Amino acid sequence: MRPQCLFPLFAPITALPGVGPRLAPLYERLLGSKVVDLLWHLPTSVVDRRCSPRLNDAPPGQVATVTVRVEAHFPGDGPRRPYRVRVSDETGFAHLVFFHGREDWLRHQLPEGEIRIVSGLVEHFNNEINFPHPDHIVPPERKAEVMVIEQVYPLTAGLTQRPLAKAAAAALARAPELPEWQDPAWLARQSWPSWRTALLAVHRPDDAGALNPDSPPRRRLAYDELLATQLALALVRANLRRQKGRSLAAPAGVMRAKVMAALPFQLTGAQSRAVSEIDSDMAEPLRMLRLLQGDVGSGKTVVALLAMLTAIEAGAQAALMAPTEILARQHLATLSPLAEAAGIRLALLTGRDKGKAREKLLASLAEGDIDLLIGTHALFQEDVVFRELGLAVIDEQHRFGVHQRLDLAAKGFAVDMLVMTATPIPRTLLLSAYGDMDASRLDEKPPGRQPIDTRVVPLTRLDEMVAAVGRAVNGGARVYWVCPLVEESEQLDLAAAEARHQTLTEQFGERVGLIHGRMKGSARDAVMERFAAGDIDILVATTVIEVGVNVPEATIMVVEHAERFGLAQLHQLRGRVGRGSGRSTCLLLYGHPLGEVAKARLEILRATEDGFVIAEEDLRLRGGGEILGTRQSGLPEFHLADLDRHGDLLEIARDDSRLILDRDPELTGPRSEALRVLLYLFERDAAIRTLRSG
Ligand SMILES: Nc1ncnc2c1ncn2[C@@H]1O[C@H](COP(=O)(O)OP(=O)(O)OP(=O)(O)O)[C@@H](O)[C@H]1O
């Protein structure tokens, strides 16, 4: 249960003054729907209105607050002759200029002959002093309200500073003093203020200093957030470790030997290392929580299979969960012949399975007649019961995230867990998303892969590229054609892909296929199968093919508007080719004009195929938040912490969390109440449910 002290902060944002039904959706889009979301929406700069010169000394290009007499109104008649109000003091005169504004309202605000305090940007225009759309106009008795340092919040279309600042102030007023969750000695050493004081300092800064990410209040808040995340991860870890696992070992390795004999290749050194790390984890009576991090095409699947064989030979069952149905089916297709070689029984369960067939499958699963179950999220439905699940492999491909691991834990699967991710994640990000896990890295590609010829080409040369693709297809090549990503709009993605599908079909006829996220699962599978079988040569796609798809015969990847993708995402896309022995090409088509950073980013892709290098470089160029591209990155989003600036705090938070739980595993000690408040405050409270007392 959420602690009572946080109730006011988790009220809907509409509880705040001025946030009515018209503005609420704007707030929601900008920052969220709860009062607490406003607290995390920090100002990015300040305006100092305390400069209050005489009119003749008003500094152009700066904000000033002046005391003036209203002389006369000159209504305008459009943008070329705006509405002007002439004002004066003893040193001279100026014009307040309004490009839009109703006359009755302006006359009411600025009655002729009255004194007014006006604050706004000073401009010199035609040897006159102008105040275009002053920010504040108040009578003299309210001067103190205006002569302040004002914070500037990031906005969204339709929402202006003043109502937002008012709502933020109201949200702040609701922020209670909370029990201190930080260790007092550590707090004193850092000279950090309390949570509430820090929050007030960044929302009502005395100067821009408090907004600097390195200022004590900002660092304090960043650390609070990092600690909440890391503590949640540590709780999951502690909880999973505490449940006794079983030791899974297959010293004879009969099944494994059969599969190895059936494989057309030798394991790479990295694969062998990962396998033995996993082996020793599984042999321990503690539960395994391991991340298998491998660059695109590094051969994670076979490593997972070998681990699952160990579990099966030890008498348990194994499950392999993929993020999409296509991938689940693909795993089934690759693993089937190997499973046959090993003599194990394999089955597939997806959301599509219904009725009798599903019942039958579940019955055999419960009986232990299925050794390895492959599937999607459907694997974790309530009625899916294993006879004895020993190992769960989650092919995460950065789509799931810690919540799914928590859900799994909550389901009480006392099993070893292996999470596979294809995303090369820099260390700081790794800690923030997988701080609960041990990691194995596949940093070596299978031998014999040819380098991919990556070219960065302007979209103006599209016709040329289409012609080149046509020639390649006539020569037997298979091509992925990925269409532009349109921010936040699946519908527009789709329109772009459909249009491209049409133009390519006009040119190449029946050999062009289309696949996108809106298609029904079965239709998608059918297209994918036709492409894998070679019935389709050109597959036009939205980014649904980004993860994991394995068609080794495909050798050309075209990405339109490559500049709109995250680098890691492009790396993933490119990784769909170069998977066989054929020579592969990746064409990154960009739209004009391309800025310096965008150019540098695409250049990185041209220069290297090492996902880890690409990720580090991308992090350097763009900062952590965007590293994984746009949607559904699965990595936690931070409101207050900036991994570039606060990376040092992340490691401390991880160690701190583990220490906290070492000393007080059930969170019942003196600091625990405050720490629970912290977890709720940052909405990481799902982890609390893993506690016996939670
Ligand atoms: N040691 C190896 N030698 C040669 N080929 C290998 C080796 N290991 C795996 N492969 C092959 O490499 C291809 C890619 O393997 P897999 O699909 O497991 O990659 P992955 O790590 O899951 O990559 P991605 O994340 O890009 O999907 C497969 O066709 C697989 O059979």
Q: Which of 266, 291, 298 to mutate to test the pocket of ligand 1 (most atoms within 8 A of CB)?
A: 298
Residue identifier of the C-alpha nearest atom 16 of ligand 1: 299
How remote is the CA of residue 574 from the centroid of ligand 1, in Å? Answer: 14
What pLDDT sits at residue 552?
A: 85
Least confident of 72-86, 412-426, 434-448, 518-532: 412-426
Give yes or no for residue 260 having a pLDDT over 70: yes
Which tens digits make up the pLDDT trace of 603-656? 889 988 888 788 777 766 655 444 333 333 445 568 888 877 888 898 899 889
How remote is the CA of residue 297 from the centroid of ligand 1, in Å? Answer: 5
Cα–Cα dist 140/631, whole Å: 51
How remote is the CA of residue 534 from the centroid of ligand 1, in Å? Answer: 20
What pLDDT sits at residue 632?
A: 34
Contact 34, 9 (CB under 8 A): yes
Residue 316's pLDDT band (cuts 50, 70, 90): very high
Which tens digits make up the pLDDT trace of 462-477? 999 999 999 999 988 9
How remote is the CA of residue 536 from the centroid of ligand 1, in Å? Answer: 23
Q: Which of 271, 293, 550 to mutate to test the pocket of ligand 1 (most atoms within 8 A of CB)?
A: 550
- pLDDT over 90 percentage in the chain: 43
Cα–Cα dist 309/332, whole Å: 15
Give yes or no for residue 413 having a pLDDT over 80: no
What pLDDT sits at residue 624?
A: 45
Cα–Cα dist 447/265, whole Å: 9
Residue identifier of the C-alpha nearest atom 23 of ligand 1: 297
Instruction: Strands of 406-506 (E only): list them.
Output: 416-421, 438-442, 453-458, 478-482
- Closest to 419 (Cα-Cα) out of 583, 293, 327, 510: 293
How remote is the CA of residue 446 from the centroid of ligand 1, in Å? Answer: 7
Cα–Cα dist 282/285, whole Å: 7
Give yes or no for residue 694 having a pLDDT over 60: no
Residue identifier of the C-alpha nearest atom 26 of ligand 1: 296
Could you tell me the maximum CA-CA distance found in the chain, to the nearest angstrom? 99
What's the Cα-to-Cα distance from 380 to each of 246, 332, 407, 635, rounded to whole Å?
Answer: 21, 18, 9, 21
Q: Token pair of 356, please?
A: 């009798």
What pLDDT sits at residue 146?
A: 86
Cα–Cα dist 124/61, whole Å: 8
Cα–Cα dist 553/479, whole Å: 9
Residue identifier of the C-alpha nearest atom 27 of ligand 1: 548
Residue identifier of the C-alpha nearest atom 3 of ligand 1: 446
Ligand 1 atom with the shortest distance to the CA of 576: 26
Task: Fill in the DSSP letter of residue 78.
Answer: B
Burial class (CB in 10 A: 0-12, 13-18, 19+), 342: buried
Least confident of 22-26, 163-167, 515-519: 515-519
Residue identifier of the C-alpha nearest atom 15 of ligand 1: 299
Q: Which of 305-309, 318-322, 567-571 has the highest mean pLDDT?
A: 305-309
Number of Cβ within 10 Å of residue 363's Cβ equals: 12
What pLDDT sits at residue 548?
A: 64
Q: Is the dihedral of CA 617, 622, 623, 624 positive or negative?
A: negative
What's the Cα-to-Cα distance from 354 to each of 267, 319, 360, 361, 380, rounded to whole Å?
Answer: 38, 19, 10, 10, 15
Cα–Cα dist 334/663, whole Å: 46
Q: Which of 266, 293, 300 to mutate to test the pocket of ligand 1 (most atoms within 8 A of CB)?
A: 300
What's the Cα-to-Cα distance from 244 to each of 89, 232, 251, rounded to whole Å?
Answer: 81, 20, 21
Which tens digits make up the pLDDT trace of 114-153? 999 999 999 988 888 999 999 899 999 998 888 888 888 9
How remote is the CA of residue 301 from the centroid of ligand 1, in Å? Answer: 7
Least confident of 73-82, 336-345, 554-563, 674-683: 73-82
Ligand 1 atom with the shortest distance to the CA of 395: 22
Angle, to 10 degrees, between the axis of helix 643-663 and the axis of helix 427-434? Answer: 40
What pLDDT sits at residue 97?
A: 93
What pLDDT sits at residue 481?
A: 93
- Closest to 310 (Cα-Cα) out of 379, 370, 252: 252
Give me the helices (H) in 156-267, please: 161-174, 184-190, 195-203, 216-242, 254-262
Which tens digits make up the pLDDT trace of 70-107? 999 998 877 678 899 999 999 999 999 998 778 889 99
For residue 473, which amino acid is it? V
SS3 294: strand
Contact 539, 479 (CB under 8 A): yes
Cα–Cα dist 16/27, whole Å: 11
Contact 418, 434 (CB under 8 A): no
Q: Token pair of 146, please?
A: 């205006």
Residue identifier of the C-alpha nearest atom 22 of ligand 1: 300
Contact 521, 325 (CB under 8 A): yes
Residues framing ligand 1 (Cβ under 6 A): 265-268, 271, 294, 296-302, 422, 446, 548, 550, 552, 575, 579
Ligand 1 atom with the shortest distance to the CA of 266: 1
How remote is the CA of residue 294 from the centroid of ligand 1, in Å? Answer: 10
How remote is the CA of residue 614 from the centroid of ligand 1, in Å? Answer: 20
Contact 538, 563 (CB under 8 A): no
pLDDT, average across residues 399-406: 58
Domains of the chain, earliest start first: 4-46+155-212 (no CATH), 50-147 (2.40.50.140), 254-442 (3.40.50.300), 453-608 (3.40.50.300)
How remote is the CA of residue 425 from the centroid of ligand 1, in Å? Answer: 19
Give yes or no for residue 285 having a pLDDT over 60: yes
Strands 83-89 and 92-98, sheet pairing: antiparallel
Ligand 1 atom with the shortest distance to the CA of 448: 4
Phi, psi (degrees; rounded to nearest 5) at 481: -125, 105
The single residue listed with the structure tokens 């070998």 is 306
Phi-psi region of 367 (alpha: psi -120 to 50; beta: other; left: phi over 0): alpha
Ligand 1 atom with the shortest distance to the CA of 303: 18
Cα angle vertex 155, ends 487, 120, to 5°? 145
SS3 241: helix
Give yes or no for residue 405 having a pLDDT over 80: no
Which tens digits make up the pLDDT trace of 336-382? 999 999 999 999 998 888 889 999 999 999 999 999 999 988 887 77
Cα–Cα dist 142/88, whole Å: 19
How remote is the CA of residue 553 from the centroid of ligand 1, in Å? Answer: 13
SS3 425: coil
Can you tell me the ipTM of this complex?
Answer: 0.97
- pLDDT over 70 percentage in the chain: 88
Cα–Cα dist 295/313, whole Å: 29
Q: Which helix (H) or strand (E) holds 581?
A: none
How remote is the CA of residue 267 from the centroid of ligand 1, in Å? Answer: 10
Give yes or no for residue 261 having a pLDDT over 80: yes
What pLDDT sits at residue 397?
A: 57
Residues 6+ apart with CB under 8 A from 410: 686, 689, 690
What pLDDT sits at residue 625?
A: 41
Which tens digits make up the pLDDT trace of 175-198? 999 999 999 999 999 999 999 999
pLDDT, average across residues 147-161: 87
Q: Which helix (H) or strand (E) holds 114?
A: none
Residue identifier of the C-alpha nearest atom 11 of ligand 1: 299
The single residue listed with the structure tokens 């064409």 is 587
Ligand 1 atom with the shortest distance to the CA of 397: 25
Q: Which of 271, 292, 302 to mutate to test the pocket of ligand 1 (most atoms within 8 A of CB)?
A: 302
Task: Fill in the DSSP letter of residue 299.
Answer: -
Residue 426's pLDDT band (cuts 50, 70, 90): low
What's the Cα-to-Cα distance from 264 to each of 335, 344, 346, 443, rounded to whole Å?
Answer: 13, 19, 21, 21
Contact 545, 519 (CB under 8 A): no
Cα angle vertex 639, ends 634, 642, to 5°? 90
What pLDDT sits at residue 493?
A: 61
What's the Cα-to-Cα distance from 685 to each of 160, 370, 691, rounded to whole Å?
Answer: 33, 36, 11
Q: Per DSSP, what are the bridge partners of residue 504?
A: none
Number of Cβ within 10 Å of residue 316's Cβ equals: 22
Q: Which of 272, 275, 301 to mutate to test the pocket of ligand 1 (most atoms within 8 A of CB)?
A: 301
Residue identifier of the C-alpha nearest atom 31 of ligand 1: 299
Residue identifier of the C-alpha nearest atom 12 of ligand 1: 299
pLDDT, average across residues 226-238: 85
Cα–Cα dist 360/693, whole Å: 38
- Closest to 339 (Cα-Cα) out of 268, 255, 420, 261: 255
Q: Which of 248-252, 398-402, 597-601, 676-680 has the highest mean pLDDT?
A: 676-680
Ligand 1 atom with the shortest distance to the CA of 300: 21
How remote is the CA of residue 293 from the centroid of ligand 1, in Å? Answer: 13
Number of Cβ within 10 Å of residue 309's Cβ equals: 27
pLDDT, average across residues 504-508: 91
Phi-psi region of 689 (alpha: psi -120 to 50; beta: other; left: phi over 0): alpha
Mean pLDDT of the chain: 85
Ligand 1 atom with the shortest distance to the CA of 442: 21
Contact 335, 374 (CB under 8 A): yes
pLDDT, average across residues 555-576: 87
How remote is the CA of residue 298 from the centroid of ligand 1, in Å? Answer: 5
Give yes or no for residue 431 having a pLDDT over 50: yes
What pLDDT sits at residue 31?
A: 87
Residue identifier of the C-alpha nearest atom 28 of ligand 1: 299
